[in-house]
Amino acid sequence: MSQPLILTSFDRMRFMVVDDDRTLIELVEAMLLMASVGGVVKATSCLAAINILADRTKKVDCIICDQGMPTMSGLEFLKEIRAGRHAHIPRDLCFIMLTAHGDEAVVRGALGLDVNGYVRKPVTKDSLVKAIHRAFNRTIALKPPEEYAAVVLPPNT
């Protein structure tokens, strides 16, 4: 039997949307604003997201990140966070993966990195909001950074 979903209030939460497709960023931002979030920060690459997160005035409660991006994939970004490679980014930061594929290697990698949520594209407001509620209801017992660093990821295509 599944646990009842505890609804989280988003009005004081800031979300970061990371995707190399600006149209998708705008779409997800619009969905988040319809869900009454406190704020949205946008980045078109994982490297840009890391730089934004380095600014301590830009507090973020949850990252919603595309998996398939050039230079650094969403999984590689999540691995950097969970492995503690950036002292200014909390290792337990809520992270929701957006993906166009249900590729088994990607799902395995995401689970190995303790992803908080997973949303398949095309994303809808309903699927996004449900994933956010589920993500904030899921408590993670963080593993040591070395365990995350050892997770083998599929090649970024």
Mean pLDDT over 121-139 rounds to 92
pTM summary value: 0.93
Per DSSP, the three-state class of 110 is helix
Mean pLDDT over 8-26 rounds to 92
Q: What is the pLDDT of residues 27-62, one digit of tens each?
A: 999 999 999 999 999 999 999 999 999 988 888 999
pLDDT of residue 25: 97
Q: How confident is the model at residue 157 (pLDDT cuts 50, 70, 90)?
A: low
Q: What is the pLDDT of residues 68-108, one digit of tens each?
A: 998 999 999 999 999 999 988 999 999 999 998 778 888 89
Which residues, other chains included, contact 57 with Cβ-Cβ below 8 Å and sequence gap of 6+?
Answer: none
Q: Token match 């017992």: residue?
A: 141
Which residues, other chains included, contact 66 with Cβ-Cβ below 8 Å and sequence gap of 6+?
Answer: 18, 19, 20, 21, 24, 74, 97, 98, 99
Spatial distance between the Cα atoms of 19 and 46, rounded to a whole number of angstroms: 8
Reference 121, options 62, 63, 66; nearest CA is 66
Q: What is the mean pLDDT of the chain?
A: 91
pLDDT of residue 2: 54
The percent of residues in the chain predicted with pLDDT above 90, rounded, is: 74
Q: How confident is the model at residue 7 (pLDDT cuts 50, 70, 90)?
A: low
pLDDT of residue 1: 46
pLDDT of residue 78: 97
Q: Which CA distances in Å does 118 have to 55, 57, 87, 88, 151?
A: 26, 27, 25, 24, 18
pLDDT of residue 156: 77
pLDDT of residue 9: 77
Domain ranges of the chain: 14-149
Fold classification of 14-149 (topology level): Rossmann fold (3.40.50)
